[in-house]
Chains A and B, each alone.
Chain A
Amino acid sequence: MSQWFVSHLILIQGTFISLLLALSIQVPLRAGVFSFAGIGSYALGAYTAAILTIRLQVAPVIAIGAGVLLAAVVGYLLALLVARLSGLYLGMATIAFALFLGVAATNGGELTGGPTGLFGAISTLTTAHVIAVTLVVVLLLAAGERGAYGRRVDAVREDPQLAVTLGIDVNRVRRRVFVVSGALGATAGGMYTLLRTTVSPETIGFHLVVTALTMIIVGGSLSWAGAAIGALIFTWLPTVLQFVGEWQLLVYGLLVTAAAVYVPGGILGLLQSGWRRYQRSRRPAVRPGAAAAAAGEHEAPLATLGTPGEVRS
């Protein structure tokens, strides 16, 4: 086990970092906010952690924490700025924000190391820390997807007008997901930089947007579990499918396209609908009668609002 752990260390680290990055896009998407600001936060977190570690030799907690704080504040301000936008327009504005940061990093002079980036950010951060942080994040997000708060976010996604009439402060939910997304992206960026000890502007580009989106779309965008499935698949697929080799990118493209067209819910969606069908087949047939029909009718609109993970009995 420990032998396996050591020899696959890079992939294990990659899985957890990718999961955090994917979550920084999945959290807004779950609330119906199409924002790629998490990619920009990844850049903020990565550079803040590198600069603080190299210049001030602070502990990794402080280096990453400062990046997370900065990205959360920037996320909040960004949310205020783009409050008017939604859908594709919001997606484009946030992509522009993220890629602008990439160019800014190239032009940052001594502070960001210019086109070559920064080297020698050596810290005491270990894989165990990364795993622990990711688990805590996942637990918090999983808790946030359940219960009243989870249903409120579902309502904001499915029907913002309805959510407003129900007394949900839609704009506050939206601002909150921007802050969470910023913090998550910065955590991923900061930890990745300290593990690899370097950061360069090439790490932040359109390809990062595509990678994160690929994981969520194939895994499933409505729950953290979907992001986890996606992160697992796309980190480990290259090692499993070695014969794919040079055509790896092509396989990714086809997977994303197929998922976008045929399984918008992703693998998680497929698993959930399969599980529900299985449960239904085990349950005895519903008694015919007005009461059952009325109950079924009553359940239908609620089901669309329910947390995807929950199976109603």
Chain B
Amino acid sequence: MAQDVLNALTLGSLYLLFALGMSLAWGTIGILNFAHGSIFMFAAFTAHLLVQEVALPMVALIAVGVAAGALLSVLVQLLVFEPIQRRAKDKHKAELQILIGGIGVAIVPLAIAQYLTRSVPFGYSAGRFQVNSYDLGFVRVSNVQVITLAAAFGLAALIGWWLKAARPGLALRGIGVDAEVASMMGVDRRRLALLTMAVAGALAGLAGVLLTYYLGSIAPETGDAFLLKAFAAIILGGVGSIAGVTIGALFLAGVETLVLVTTSGAWAPAIAFGVLFLMLLVRPNGLLGRQEVRRT
């Protein structure tokens, strides 16, 4: 039982790391990045390519994954989302074009990774880091789990505090409420958008590397599954709310673990879709979402 709770918490932490950046970008600069799953996968894949050449420690691989994720995310913003926002006639059209552009650009890293790996799962077995488990009597904890939990909750708290207390965080929230007025108040929207996307990508990269360590290996297609689960977590908690996405990620992981433990687990993939659909019907703003979220 305690073991299941710990596993659910770890899974929830990985969902949280993944969904945090997406929720941040969606709730503030209005970009729903469908390429987030691809960025997440490709950052982990970059670290895999590197570790095949040099046996690196975990810290180095995490740094590589974070850097690759941030870089890819910024590139997508510069090459796809910014031109769309510049050219689109109105916000609604831009939203849909960003979604489609994201789906399109997401195929590119996926195709490259599938080509290079022949769709075989990849991992970090060539690295120097060893996954160790510690028996605490009632539960077994691995060092990867400890790092994942600490990273997820630490970073969620840090970003939540930064958004609430720091001046750039205030500016970013201002963009989320009204981009035009924020611009008039002297907020540099372009710079903050790039920063947000870089942070989102870095978080995705971190999640990717940690997931690969946790599971041993991941397939190039893992990104798609995570993307849809992250949607469910974000919608459940409320777009843009850091506390909300934390609750959403943990709830989703908890229910999934419960279903996996108590049944054959064949229905587990449907939970995210069910949660997403029901939540959109009952309360599209999410548990902790702002009322201003457009829904008409």
Query: In the complex, what residues of A have CB within 8 A of residue B32's CB?
Result: 88
Docked pose: A264 CA to B101 CA in angstroms: 10
B267 at the binding interface (Cβ < 8 Å): yes
A88/B95 contact (C-beta < 8 A), A249-B114, A261-B80 known: yes
In chain A, residues 97-150, which have Cβ atoms closer than 8 Å to a Cβ of chain B? Answer: 97, 99-100, 103-104, 106-107
Judging by beta carbons under 8 Å apart, are A252 and B277 in contact?
A: no
Docked pose: A9 CA to B254 CA in angstroms: 49
A34 at the binding interface (Cβ < 8 Å): yes
Least Cβ–Cβ distance between A313 and chain B, in angstroms: 26
Stretch in A79-87, A174-182, A272-280 with 4+ CB within 8 Å of B: A79-87
Least Cβ–Cβ distance between B182 and chain A, in angstroms: 21
Judging by beta carbons under 8 Å apart, are B266 and A260 in contact?
A: no
Docked pose: A107 CA to B274 CA in angstroms: 15
Chain A positions 34 through 71: 1 when the CB is less than 8 Å from some CB of chain B, otherwise 0 = 10000000000000000000000000000000000000
Q: Classify chain B: how many residues form its interface, as a range.
A: 35 or more
Least Cβ–Cβ distance between A257 and chain B, in angstroms: 4
A12 at the binding interface (Cβ < 8 Å): no
A259 at the binding interface (Cβ < 8 Å): yes
Judging by beta carbons under 8 Å apart, are A107 and B228 in contact?
A: no
Query: In the complex, what residues of A have CB within 8 A of residue B284's CB?
Result: 84-85, 89
| Residue count of chain A within 8 Å CB distance of chain B | 42
**Which residue in chain A gives the minimum CB-CB distance to B274?**
A100
**Which residue in chain A gives the minimum CB-CB distance to B266?**
A107
Interface of A is mostly: helix
Residue of A100, A206, A262 near B277 (CB, 8 A) is: A100
Stretch in B62-70, B103-111, B171-179 with 4+ CB within 8 Å of A: B103-111
Residue of B83, B114, B277 near A96 (CB, 8 A) is: B277
Docked pose: A102 CA to B87 CA in angstroms: 37
Residue of B100, B235, B276 near A213 (CB, 8 A) is: B100
Query: In the complex, what residues of A have CB within 8 A of residue B114's CB?
Result: 249
Docked pose: A294 CA to B37 CA in angstroms: 52
Judging by beta carbons under 8 Å apart, are A93 and B103 in contact?
A: no
B97 at the binding interface (Cβ < 8 Å): yes
Judging by beta carbons under 8 Å apart, are A88 and B270 in contact?
A: no
Judging by beta carbons under 8 Å apart, are A82 and B280 in contact?
A: yes
Query: In the complex, what residues of B have CB within 8 A of residue A153's CB?
Result: none
In chain B, residues 166-218, which have Cβ atoms closer than 8 Å to a Cβ of chain A? Answer: none
Query: In the complex, what residues of B have CB within 8 A of residue A95's CB?
Result: 228
A206/B84 contact (C-beta < 8 A), A87-B96, A249-B110 known: no
Chain B CB within 10 Å, residue with most, of A85, A88, A106:
A88
Judging by beta carbons under 8 Å apart, are A103 and B269 in contact?
A: yes
Judging by beta carbons under 8 Å apart, are B99 and A85 in contact?
A: no
Docked pose: A68 CA to B124 CA in angstroms: 49
Query: In the complex, what residues of B have CB within 8 A of residue A259's CB?
Result: 104
Chain B positions 74 through 115: 1 when the CB is less than 8 Å from some CB of chain A, otherwise 0 = 000000100110011000110111011101111110111011
Query: In the complex, what residues of B have CB within 8 A of residue A253's CB?
Result: 104-108, 110-111
Least Cβ–Cβ distance between A245 and chain B, in angstroms: 10
Judging by beta carbons under 8 Å apart, are B281 and A82 in contact?
A: yes
A247 at the binding interface (Cβ < 8 Å): yes
A191 at the binding interface (Cβ < 8 Å): no
Docked pose: A34 CA to B97 CA in angstroms: 11
Judging by beta carbons under 8 Å apart, are B111 and A89 in contact?
A: no
Docked pose: A213 CA to B102 CA in angstroms: 12
A292 at the binding interface (Cβ < 8 Å): no
Residue of A103, A257, A258 near B267 (CB, 8 A) is: A103
A233 at the binding interface (Cβ < 8 Å): no
Least Cβ–Cβ distance between B81 and chain A, in angstroms: 9
Query: In the complex, what residues of A have CB within 8 A of residue B280's CB?
Result: 82, 85, 89, 92-93, 96
Chain A positions 201 through 243: 1 when the CB is less than 8 Å from some CB of chain B, otherwise 0 = 0000010001001100100000000000000000000000000
Docked pose: A210 CA to B93 CA in angstroms: 19
Docked pose: A257 CA to B97 CA in angstroms: 9
Query: In the complex, what residues of B have CB within 8 A of residue A246's CB?
Result: 115
In chain B, residues 254-296, which have Cβ atoms closer than 8 Å to a Cβ of chain A? Answer: 266-267, 269-270, 272-274, 276-277, 280-281, 284, 294-296
Docked pose: A239 CA to B68 CA in angstroms: 35
Judging by beta carbons under 8 Å apart, are B273 and A99 in contact?
A: yes
Least Cβ–Cβ distance between A144 and chain B, in angstroms: 22
A93/B276 contact (C-beta < 8 A), A256-B100, A260-B84 known: yes
A92/B108 contact (C-beta < 8 A), A81-B281, A106-B266, A264-B97 known: no
**Which residue in chain A gives the minimum CB-CB distance to B100?**
A260
Docked pose: A86 CA to B276 CA in angstroms: 15
A-B contact pairs, 30 of them (CB 8 A): A82-B280, A84-B281, A84-B284, A84-B295, A86-B295, A86-B296, A89-B235, A91-B96, A92-B280, A96-B272, A96-B273, A96-B274, A97-B273, A97-B277, A99-B273, A100-B273, A103-B273, A104-B270, A210-B103, A217-B100, A247-B115, A250-B111, A253-B107, A254-B108, A256-B107, A257-B105, A260-B80, A260-B100, A260-B104, A262-B83
Given contacts A86-B296, A217-B100, 14 further A-B contacts (CB under 8 A): A82-B281, A84-B296, A92-B276, A96-B274, A107-B270, A210-B103, A250-B107, A253-B107, A254-B104, A256-B104, A256-B107, A258-B104, A260-B97, A262-B83
Q: Considering the complex of A and B, which 9 residue pairs feature the smallest CB-CB distances, nearest first? A: A253-B107, A256-B104, A260-B101, A257-B104, A103-B270, A249-B111, A250-B111, A100-B273, A96-B273
